[in-house]
Amino acid sequence: MRILFASVATSFLLACSPTQPTDQQSEAAASGSETEQPQDTLTVPLTYLMGQFEPGEHPDFTVIDTKYASRAGMYLRTDAYEDFRRMWEAAQADGVNLVIRSATRNFNSQKGIWEAKWTGQRRIEGGQDASVAFPDPATRARMILKFSSMPGSSRHHWGTDIDLNNLTNEYFDEGEGKKVYDWLTAHAAEYGFCQPYTEKGPERPNGYNEERWHWSYMPVSRPLTAQAERELKDSMITGFQGSETAKMIGIVENYVLGINDACRD
């Protein structure tokens, strides 16, 4: 049964938007009030979609209590956070402990991760120095993209996506990890969450490798995915080392949109 979610609110500075605001939106921005939009028509400035803002300064974001997280100082959108807390309580009642390991990462945060891997300061999966092992830029980008997003293209920019409990797929194969994953696959959709990066195959040939830890809040991420499909272009993904490869590999089509169909419907 499809669960109906309440409309989500946005309160973004329309001056950052690449499109002209309506009179109603301009009045809302001037007064500092929020503009209500149904979840299926939610749109945001491209600066938001690409993570070019500070979550701690954004009115739609809330700091995550360490009760739910592995460390202090992480942020989520308030609507996603409220439904995560409901999911957390239900999981606790079933003997399952959900722990947020990572949440919102803005452009600068993702840039730090990306450039450390691009330059070899941080090894990629398998312990390789990507700058040495993959001198061809497009190949190097694809290797990093197995698990790490390009700045400007990450779902973690949106405040909707969380990494839970452990950052390896193997953890969820048995024991406590399997218990967590089985619970999430059975119940996460009841709270609006979906696993965007499922096992790759004919139904999901492109994009990041499977991430059993990564869950996305669909009432917001679904319309933002649709907006990315309409408005985000490879040429916009820039401002970091290796950004020239965005157009070479089709970052929007193959990675931003290369998700589990269940997270788009």
Q: Domain spanning 45-263 has what CATH number?
A: 3.30.1380.10
The pTM assigned to this predicted structure is 0.85
Which helix (DSSP H) or strand (DSSP E) does residue 117 occupy? Answer: helix 107-119
Residue 76: partners with Cβ closer than 8 Å, 6 or more residues away: 61, 62, 64, 84, 103, 104, 159, 160, 162
Residue ranges of the chain whose pLDDT lies below 50: 1-36
Whole-number Å distance between alpha carbons of 265 and 262: 6
Give the residue extent of every domain in the chain. Answer: 45-263
Task: Summarize pLDDT for 116-149 with one digit per residue, the tens.
Answer: 999 999 999 889 999 999 999 999 999 999 989 9
Task: Summarize pLDDT for 74-105 with one digit per residue, the tens.
Answer: 999 999 999 999 999 999 999 999 999 999 99
Q: Write the single-letter amino acid at 239.
A: G
Contact assessment for residue 171 and residue 165, using Cβ atoms and an 8 Å cutoff: yes
* 99 class by beta-carbon count within 10 Å (0-12 exposed, 13-18 middle, 19+ buried): middle
Alpha carbon dihedral 131, 169, 216, 233, in 10-degree steps, equals 30
